[in-house]
A and B are shown apart, each in its own frame.
Chain A
Amino acid sequence: MKSSRGGRDSIPAEAGVGLRFRHHEEVLESHPAAAWFEVHTENYLGGGNVPASLDAIRRDYPLSLHGTGLSLGSADGLDPAHLARVGKVVERFEPGLVSEHLSFSVAGGNYLADLLPLPMTEETLEIVCGNVDRVQDHLKRAILVENPSTYLQFRHSTIPEWEFLVGVAERTGCGILCDVNNIYVSACNHGWRASTYLAALPAEAVGEIHLAGHTVRRIDDTRTLRIDDHGSRVAPEVWALYAEALARFGPVPTLIEWDTNVPPMEVLLEEAAHAAALIEEAKNGNCRALAA
């Protein structure tokens, strides 16, 4: 029963941390002061000791499930077996939030192990909305859909990504997971204005913010691509954009993600503390003043 967990069910408008396997034991033993945790849904599809330890963690912390495998943008439609597995994980852990990506990762019956970019067209919008509807019907709850980092765009795209994302939210009733690092990475890679992106998102639809580190890949002396590798601290430019986001959206649950060379928990908590300080400012209305 949800009520037995009281305030542990919903995700607070505070800074949480992405939880990876290497920290399970530490979390259970020393109970670090993280406001909430988020895990990758696809890491908990099976049985055994790993999901059992997450059961124990869930008893003490609010939990969010973040998926990477539903492939909301697949023209082939959703994989019903995968949707059923995700449904079981949601049932088991009763997460405060469930999220996925505005991308595709399954095509022609193969899983392509990445969040691949979609052409931003009316046809794609129809397909994504149909798939989001199916997920929400199956899970019997609204999900959040996240903007991905992208490294290419398609010639026949006709809709700016921010308008597309808002369109998905409006048509399906889903929320938006605003990944500020992804906005920054994609904006740099494609020459967009990050502020334009943020300004397009309706505050009431934004249910969560993601922050992470990225790298700059040098193609040659003059050309670079930013890669969203979640392998370092949040970049200063991304912190600045985050303050702008808070000024616009108000205090929102914010997650520190780190997936490559995952550091000690204390580093993640330091990053979360930085985010928490900015959320505090937002609560006092100071970010709005700063950003103005």
Chain B
Amino acid sequence: METAAPSLLELQRAMRASVVIHDDGAISAHVVDGSIGASERLDIYRNTFASALTTALRLSYPAVQRLVGAEFFEGAVRIFIEISPPKSACLDDYGEGFAEFLSDFEPAASLAYLPDVARLEWAVNRALHASDMEPLDPRRLVALAEADRARLSFAPHPSVSLVRTDHPADLIWRAVLDEDDSALSAIDPGAGPAWLLVHRLPAGVEIFRVSESAWRFTSALCAGRPLAAALDEAPDFDASALLADHLAAGRLIDFSLNEAIT
């Protein structure tokens, strides 16, 4: 059968449909099949796509994989990949929506804490791969007039994430990766929420629990809100000690002064 030659753009869109959603309708007529059919040839590219992305997600979500088992994980990932294929060749950035996907994924509904663990793992992944940035030198702040301090807003280090989980995802995460079954069975998944700060230090990624007030204050700060507004998030709270801690740990990289707040 004669088929009109497609433009390169059309051909690549057709190839995308073949690789991502396994629809060979638009591409197969353009493929030389010979003794091996077009779909068998296309399968090779489909398989590479699926296995490369499965590997990428396995590296980003090791605890989720152990919690559900390799087979279940792979099944969930295959569906996720089809719905949310990567948008760039930087696979370190791939998989951001996986926690949200899992929270709507019916077969995983019995593991209510799974999306929380996935959100924490995404924050760890972000911290691992974040760009290197020079921390803000606290001496730059010393020169500021007292009156200007309330107008300060900060830029966080790209490795910093603030994660609030309904379940003790940090304890579950650690026990799973340590393969510590007794620690895991001692965890009460209904033990209530955790407020977590994730950050990369020279020695590696660190996850630690903070109070709800500290979490709210830091979240506002990392969102670039002025110091005065961040303080409003946590009124009964010694923010200056925490701010000093953030600066000392290199969690902030820059500041700016906002217009006067009325």
**B129 nearest CB neighbor, chain A only:** A46
Chain B interface residue count, CB cutoff 8 Å, equals 47
**A45 nearest CB neighbor, chain B only:** B90
CB distance from B15 to the nearest CB of A (A): 6
Return chain A residues, CB-CB under 8 Å to B131.
Answer: 46-47
Do A156 and B49 touch across chains, with their CB atoms under 8 A apart? no
Do A42 and B90 touch across chains, with their CB atoms under 8 A apart? yes
Return chain B residues, CB-CB under 8 Å to A74.
Answer: 12
Contacting A at CB under 8 A, from B9-29, are: 9, 11-13, 15-16, 19-20, 29
- Please encode chain A, from 96 to 135, with 1 for each CB lying within 8 Å of some chain B CB and 0 for all others: 0000000011111111111010110101100100000000
CA distance A124 to B200 in the complex (A): 44
- Please encode chain A, from 195 to 211, with 1 for each CB lying within 8 Å of some chain B CB and 0 for all others: 00000000000000000
Do A114 and B48 touch across chains, with their CB atoms under 8 A apart? yes
**Residue A250 lies at the interface, judged by CB distance under 8 Å to chain B:** no
Return chain B residues, CB-CB under 8 Å to A114.
Answer: 19, 45, 48-49, 52
Do A48 and B130 touch across chains, with their CB atoms under 8 A apart? yes
Do B9 and A76 touch across chains, with their CB atoms under 8 A apart? yes
Do A42 and B32 touch across chains, with their CB atoms under 8 A apart? no
CA distance A227 to B128 in the complex (A): 33
Q: Which of A108, A116, A227 contacts B13 (CB 8 A)?
A: A108
Do B32 and A153 touch across chains, with their CB atoms under 8 A apart? yes
Contacting A at CB under 8 A, from B130-151, are: 130-133
**Residue A223 lies at the interface, judged by CB distance under 8 Å to chain B:** yes
Given A108-B13, A112-B20, A225-B44, A153–B90 Cβ distance below 8 Å?
no
**B10 nearest CB neighbor, chain A only:** A75
Contacting A at CB under 8 A, from B87-135, are: 87-92, 94, 128-133
Given A110-B20, A113-B49, A113-B86, A154–B30 Cβ distance below 8 Å?
yes
Q: Which of B5, B9, B88, B94 contacts A75 (CB 8 A)?
A: B9
Given A46-B129, A47-B129, A48-B129, A219–B87 Cβ distance below 8 Å?
no
Do A85 and B90 touch across chains, with their CB atoms under 8 A apart? yes
**B4 nearest CB neighbor, chain A only:** A156
**Residue A151 lies at the interface, judged by CB distance under 8 Å to chain B:** yes
CB distance from B89 to the nearest CB of A (A): 3
Q: Which of A71, A106, A119, A222 contacts B11 (CB 8 A)?
A: A119
Given A112-B16, A219-B40, A81–B31 Cβ distance below 8 Å?
no
Contacting B at CB under 8 A, from A138-162, are: 151-156
Given A107-B12, A108-B13, A109-B87, A227–B32 Cβ distance below 8 Å?
no
Name, among B16, B52, B92, the residue most crowded by chain A CB atoms within 10 Å (CB to CB). B16
CA distance A85 to B85 in the complex (A): 20
Do B16 and A108 touch across chains, with their CB atoms under 8 A apart? yes
Do A104 and B87 touch across chains, with their CB atoms under 8 A apart? no
Contacting A at CB under 8 A, from B49-86, are: 49, 52-53, 85-86
Return chain B residues, CB-CB under 8 Å to A107.
Answer: 12-13, 15-16
CA distance A106 to B12 in the complex (A): 8
Given A111-B85, A227-B44, A127–B8 Cβ distance below 8 Å?
yes
Return chain A residues, CB-CB under 8 Å to B9.
Answer: 75-76
Return chain B residues, CB-CB under 8 Å to A68.
Answer: 89
**Residue B41 lies at the interface, judged by CB distance under 8 Å to chain A:** yes
CB distance from B44 to the nearest CB of A (A): 5
Do A225 and B31 touch across chains, with their CB atoms under 8 A apart? no
Contacting B at CB under 8 A, from A67-107, are: 68-71, 73-76, 79, 81-82, 85, 104-107
- Please encode chain B, from 212 to 235, with 1 for each CB lying within 8 Å of some chain A CB and 0 for all others: 000000000000000000000000
Given A107-B13, A225-B36, A152–B7 Cβ distance below 8 Å?
no
**Residue B3 lies at the interface, judged by CB distance under 8 Å to chain A:** yes
Do A110 and B40 touch across chains, with their CB atoms under 8 A apart? no
CB distance from A136 to the nearest CB of B (A): 18
For the complex of A and B, 3 pairs with smallest distance between CB atoms: A69-B89, A46-B129, A47-B132
Sample of 9 more A-B contacts, CB < 8 Å, known A48-B159, A81-B88, A152-B31: A45-B90, A46-B128, A46-B130, A47-B159, A49-B204, A110-B16, A116-B19, A155-B32, A227-B44
Chain A residues engaging chain B, CB cutoff 8 angstroms: 42, 45-49, 51-52, 68-71, 73-76, 79, 81-82, 85, 104-114, 116, 118-119, 121, 123-124, 127, 151-156, 217, 219, 222-223, 225, 227
Chain B residues engaging chain A, CB cutoff 8 angstroms: 3, 5-9, 11-13, 15-16, 19-20, 29-32, 35-36, 38, 40-42, 44-45, 48-49, 52-53, 85-92, 94, 128-133, 159, 200, 204
Q: What would 13 A/B residue contacts be, using CB atoms closer than 8 Å?
A: A42-B91, A45-B90, A46-B128, A47-B129, A51-B132, A69-B89, A70-B89, A75-B9, A106-B88, A111-B86, A112-B49, A119-B8, A127-B8
